[in-house]
Structure 1
Amino acid sequence: MTSGERALKGGDPVSATPTRQIRALHTAETITVYQAYPPAIGLPAARDGRFPDVWKRDRMTWIKPSFLWMMYRCGWGLKEAQETVLAVEISRDGFDWALRHACLSHYDRDVHADQVSWKRELKRAPARVQWDPERDLRLSALPYRSLQLGLSGDAARKYADEWTVAISDVTPLARRVHEHVRAGELVTAASLLPAETPYPYDRSVATALLLS
Structure 2
Amino acid sequence: MEEPQRRIRALHTASTITVYQAYSPEIGIPAVRQGRFPTTWKRDRMTWIKPSFLWMMYRCGWGTKAGQETVLAVEITRDGFEWALRNACLSSYVPGLHSDRSAWKRELKRAPARVQWDPERDLHLRPLPYRSLQLGLSGEAVRRYADEWTVSISDVTPLAHEIHARVSSGDLDSAARLLPRERPYPAADDLMAHLLP
Q: Same fold (TM over 0.5)?
A: yes
What's the CA shift string for 1:72-93, capped at 9, x where partnerless? 0000000000000000000000
Q: Percent identity?
A: 71
Range with bigger deviation, 164-173 or 199-208: 199-208
1:52 and 2:38 matched: yes
Would the aligned equivalents of 1:111 and 1:207 in 2 still touch at CA under 8 Å? no
AA at the equivalent of 1:77:
G
- Measured after TM superposition, the shift of residue 202 of structure 1 is 2.6
- Measured after TM superposition, the shift of residue 201 of structure 1 is 1.1
- Measured after TM superposition, the shift of residue 207 of structure 1 is 2.1
Q: In structure 1, what is the equivalent of residue 62 of structure 2?
A: 76
What's the CA shift string for 1:127-170, capped at 9, x where partnerless? 00000000000000000001000000000000011100000000
Would the aligned equivalents of 1:22 and 1:147 in 2 still touch at CA under 8 Å? yes
Counterpart of 1:150 (choices 130, 136, 161) is 136
Structure-to-structure mapping, 1:1-212, within 5 angstroms: 15-210=1-196
AA at the equivalent of 1:161:
D
TM-score w.r.t. the length of structure 2 is 0.99
Would the aligned equivalents of 1:96 and 1:202 in 2 still touch at CA under 8 Å? no
- Measured after TM superposition, the shift of residue 203 of structure 1 is 1.6
Moved over 3 A (4+): none
AA at the equivalent of 2:24:
P
Match of 2:120, SS? strand
TM-score w.r.t. the length of structure 1 is 0.92
| CA RMSD across the alignment | 0.8
What's the CA shift string for 1:67-114, capped at 9, x where partnerless? 000000000000000000000000000000000000000000121000
- Measured after TM superposition, the shift of residue 206 of structure 1 is 2.4
Would the aligned equivalents of 2:24 and 2:69 in 1 still touch at CA under 8 Å? yes
Range with bigger deviation, 89-98 or 200-209: 200-209
Match of 2:109, SS? helix
Q: Distance in 1 between matches of 2:62 and 2:154?
A: 16
Match of 1:206, SS? helix
Q: Distance in 1 between matches of 2:65 and 2:82?
A: 31
Give the length in aligned residue pairs. Answer: 197
Q: Distance in 2 between matches of 1:105 and 1:121?
A: 10
